[in-house]
Amino acid sequence: MREKGIGRSTAMDSVRLQRLVDVCDTKENTAIYLLEEWNYEPQVCRFLKLLCDSGVNLKEVKDFLHNTPLHLAATKNYVTLAKFLIERYPNMLLCVNGQSELPVQTAIRHSQDDVAAFLIRKMDHRRVGNLFRAKQQKAAPISLVKLTERFKMQKTIVAVLDCLISPRWPHPPCLTSDIVPCLSWEQLQDTPTHFQVTYDILESDVNGRFPDDADYEYTPKSCYYNLAKHCNQTLNKEILNHIVIKLLTERKWNKYASFWFRVRGLNYLIFLAVLCTDFMLAATSPSSLTFLEVWVIAVTLWFLLDELSELQRLSLLIGPVSKYF
């Protein structure tokens, strides 16, 4: 080994790998054995690199369920190995197994947060969005409502939110004109002119359908609600302060909440005015039940019921807040 210029650690790995090959009969079976049985990622990664250097095409290696090495790495949260496989075999990122699952779907199904977030950041934004969108009568491959409801994969949620932001570059068409010359690629700007932010999957139901879909199922606790609830419970501000969540909150305020806030405020002011008027009339007139008093009592009861409903809906927030007092 020294004559070939191989280091001591590499030589020891080569000897160990050769012993495994002798036991497993073939190098392909050795790769499957390492991915399924060995739980030490650095050594598995080193051995697989040696197998690749010896001529093994890991893209053709699959187990009896047609899982690729990237699927098996996703089940064990092997981020370093996943990075090596994607660099060596980029198409493996979009390979499906016998269950028609992508590696990222396998990682999410096994709740492997680190490798799922890594795979999502390596995929095209449109492909990531399609994983959470329903197609005609077929439900979405991954339910974002369930993912946010469990809230066990926070890094994956942040990666999904990042994929909702798509940069747009100024790529002018090539026009055959003397007045508007065709620009070369070197003359194009290397910075995007604007960013497109989509919110549709945050408003989807458990099957990935949107409110304008005829098959939409009413979801009382949407993805947006789940994120707000869990972020307040865990005091995790990374997701709550994400630019997509901020823009969605601003959009909801401008399109819906601000109007009803003004209506509620105007209603409260009218209630105060009528209450003051009733007090002044009661002080100057004989004691008798008037229409204003009945109206004031009814509106007061309505306000009390409304506040009790709000307290019941926000009862989960009392615990995290109470520990500061």
User: How confident is the model over 39-66, as a mean pLDDT?
Assistant: 89
φ, ψ for residue 284, nearest 5 deg: -105, -15
Q: What is the CATH number of the domain that holds 80?
A: 1.25.40.20
154/187 same-domain check: yes
pLDDT at residue 2 greater than cutoff 60 = no
pLDDT digits (tens, 9 = 90+) for 161-203: 999 988 777 665 454 444 444 445 555 566 777 788 888 888 8
Amino acid in position 136: Q
299/186 same-domain check: no
pLDDT at 112: 93
Domain-ending residue, one of 196, 213, 238? 238
Report whether 13 contacts 48 (CB < 8 A).
Answer: no
321 inside domain:
no
101/9 same-domain check: yes
Structural domains of the chain, count: 3
Q: Domain of 139?
A: 124-238
pLDDT digits (tens, 9 = 90+) for 115-165: 999 999 999 888 998 999 988 888 899 999 999 988 889 999 999 999 998
Helical spans, DSSP H, in 1-88:
8-24, 27-37, 41-53, 69-75, 79-88
93/207 same-domain check: no
38/6 same-domain check: yes
185/279 same-domain check: no
144/194 same-domain check: yes
Instruction: Tell me if the pTM is above 0.85.
Output: no
Token pair recorded at residue 120: 């999502």
